[in-house]
């Protein structure tokens, strides 16, 4: 759908001007940030969904290029759900001139599950699993919650 859309410059400008992108690391973002900061920007523009998707793909590719463009590397490993988005990969490749490495589908599908399983084990052991040096939080912490099922 994104490939069929038209790039909407005012939306792209609004997305690229989000405060997060101007902050220095360490920083992190998550679903909550997308819901509170990105969704309202997308909703302000009354344009076809294909145009929003096209513009958002361009936004992601631009931000990836901005971050990795300063790195001394020729390859970029892409994993997670975005690895299955051929149009996104094309836009990143064009903006960075990097060789994109896409692992096998099994790795792409289960990498995040493996990482969260590892974080869960660390949480279960009550060891620090969230570093302020990576996230920008005020202190290292043990993140996550454990919910136990009760026998019936």
93: left (phi over 0), alpha (psi -120 to 50) or beta: alpha
Note the pLDDT tens digit of each residue in 50-105. Answer: 999 999 999 999 999 998 876 677 888 888 878 899 999 999 999 988 889 999 98
Q: Kindly tell me if the per-residue pLDDT of 27 is higher than 90.
A: no
Given this model, what pLDDT does residue 89 score? 93
Domain architecture of the chain: domains with CATH? 2-103 (3.30.420.40), 105-152 (no CATH)
Percent of the chain with pLDDT over 70: 99
Which contacts qualify for 125-129: CB closer than 8 Å, 24 or more apart? none
């Amino acid at each position: 759908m994104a490939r069929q859309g038209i790039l909407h410059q005012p939306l792209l400008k609004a997305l690229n001007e989000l405060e997060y992108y101007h902050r220095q690391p360490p920083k992190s973002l998550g679903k909550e940030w997308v819901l509170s900061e990105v969704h309202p920007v997308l909703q302000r523009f009354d344009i076809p969904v294909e145009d929003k998707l096209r513009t958002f793909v361009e936004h992601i590719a631009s931000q990836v290029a901005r971050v990795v463009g300063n790195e001394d590397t020729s390859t970029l490993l892409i994993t997670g759900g975005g690895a299955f988005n051929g149009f996104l990969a094309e836009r990143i490749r064009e903006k960075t001139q990097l060789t994109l490495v896409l692992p096998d589908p099994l790795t792409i599908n289960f990498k995040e599950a493996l990482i969260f399983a590892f974080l869960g084990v660390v949480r279960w052991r009550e060891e620090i699993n969230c570093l302020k040096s990576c996230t920008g939080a005020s202190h290292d912490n043990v993140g996550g919650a454990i919910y136990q099922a009760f026998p019936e």
